[in-house]
């Protein structure tokens, strides 16, 4: 697979699309090969380590949230090379087909690096943070290495996007307890599978997910891209948290308008 792999279509089957819509997530094999990912691994790793706001603070001295991962947003604005991966038409087309929308635009991207010994990522849903007028959003999770279970791959609550569980509770140890209890009580199946190099998962904004601790001696290096319907409108009613994301990721859009900010380019449209 060459550089063109960033833009050539990935053939989704009707069965995969149906599975995604039923489960709220899907893990797709062989989306990229090792040679395609290698330069983006090096570049995004460099950016993440340089921008890490906690690099001078040992894991043991951080709070639980910041022990879970290094989080760097808007990576695409920091590097032309990183932008190539975030703007991959191959990924964006998959997102559009899974969401059943004509096109998708970028909400934002971010690096999520779980350091060796990094803690668990709490159960949560993403959509509650986003000032979007509909639920037509999906996140691509792109590891730069194989992720065995002891490295902390994403795990998902199957079909949990159909339930209203802790949708207004900020990610924390308390939200983790609330959601874990609800998952058990509602008998939601948790799917935790290793990732091979080249696998990419996609999950809906309301799908419950979490990640275990990184018990290995290697960092878990992941790039994520969040897509939304190309016709997504900015919500009229927003929480304070959603207002923060509005100002950060779509600042020129006004409530009720299509989110056509320069930070939200269309990444796929047939």
pLDDT tens for each residue of 9-33? 999 999 999 999 999 999 999 999 9
Instruction: Answer yes or no: is 6 within a domain.
Output: no
Q: Which residues does 257 contact at the CB level (< 8 Å), separation at least 6? A: 233, 234
- Secondary structure E strands in the chain: 25-28, 70-73, 104-114, 121-124, 137-143, 154-157, 190-192, 200-204, 209-211, 220-229, 266-268
Instruction: Quote the domain boundaries for residue 170.
Output: 29-194+206-220+231-268
Q: Which residue reads 């190539």 in tokens?
A: 84
Instruction: Answer yes or no: is 93 within a domain.
Output: yes
Instruction: Answer yes or no: is 23 within a domain.
Output: no
Tokens for 220? 């878990």
Instruction: Answer yes or no: is 123 within a domain.
Output: yes
| pLDDT (average), residues 251-264 | 98
Residue 136, pLDDT score: 98
Domain count, the chain: 1
| pLDDT (average), residues 32-47 | 97
Dump pLDDT digits (tens) for 80-92: 999 999 999 999 9
| pLDDT (average), residues 107-133 | 95
CATH label of the domain that carries residue 145: 2.60.120.620
Instruction: Answer yes or no: is 112 within a domain.
Output: yes
Q: How far apart are alpha carbons 95 and 16 in whole angstroms?
A: 12
Instruction: Answer yes or no: is 18 within a domain.
Output: no
Residue 251, pLDDT score: 98
Q: How far apart are alpha carbons 218 and 212 in whole angstroms?
A: 14
Percent of the chain residues topping a pLDDT of 90:
87
Instruction: Answer yes or no: is 14 within a domain.
Output: no
Q: How far apart are alpha carbons 110 and 222 in whole angstroms?
A: 9
Dump pLDDT digits (tens) for 225-238: 999 999 999 999 99
| pLDDT (average), residues 155-180 | 89
pTM score, two decimals?
0.95
Band of pLDDT at residue 122, cut at 50, 70 and 90: very high
Instruction: Answer yes or no: is 246 within a domain.
Output: yes
């Amino acid at each position: 697979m060459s550089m063109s792999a960033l833009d050539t279509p990935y053939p989704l089957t009707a069965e995969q699309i149906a599975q995604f819509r039923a489960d709220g997530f899907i893990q797709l094999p062989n989306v990229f090969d090792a040679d395609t990912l290698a330069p983006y691994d090096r570049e995004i790793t460099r950016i993440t380590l340089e921008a890490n706001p906690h690099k001078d603070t040992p894991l043991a001295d951080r709070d639980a949230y910041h022990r879970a991962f290094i989080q760097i947003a808007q990576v695409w604005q920091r590097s032309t090379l990183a932008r190539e991966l975030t703007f991959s038409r191959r990924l964006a087309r998959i997102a559009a087909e899974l969401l059943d929308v004509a096109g998708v635009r970028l909400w934002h991207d971010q690096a999520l690096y779980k350091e060796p010994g990094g803690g668990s990522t709490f159960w949560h849903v993403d959509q509650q943070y986003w000032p979007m007028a509909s639920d037509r959003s999906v996140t691509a999770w792109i590891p730069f290495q194989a992720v065995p279970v002891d490295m902390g791959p994403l795990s998902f609550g199957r079909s949990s996007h159909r339930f209203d569980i802790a949708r207004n509770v900020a990610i924390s140890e308390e939200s983790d307890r609330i959601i874990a209890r609800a998952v058990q009580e509602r008998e939601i199946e948790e799917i935790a599978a290793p990732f091979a190099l080249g696998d990419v998962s996609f999950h809906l904004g309301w799908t419950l997910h979490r990640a275990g601790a990184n018990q290995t001696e290697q960092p878990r290096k992941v790039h994520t891209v969040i897509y939304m319907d190309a016709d997504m409108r900015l919500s009229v009613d927003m929480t304070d948290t959603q207002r923060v994301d509005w100002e950060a990721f779509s600042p020129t859009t006004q409530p009720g308008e299509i989110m056509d900010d320069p930070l939200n380019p269309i990444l796929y449209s047939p």
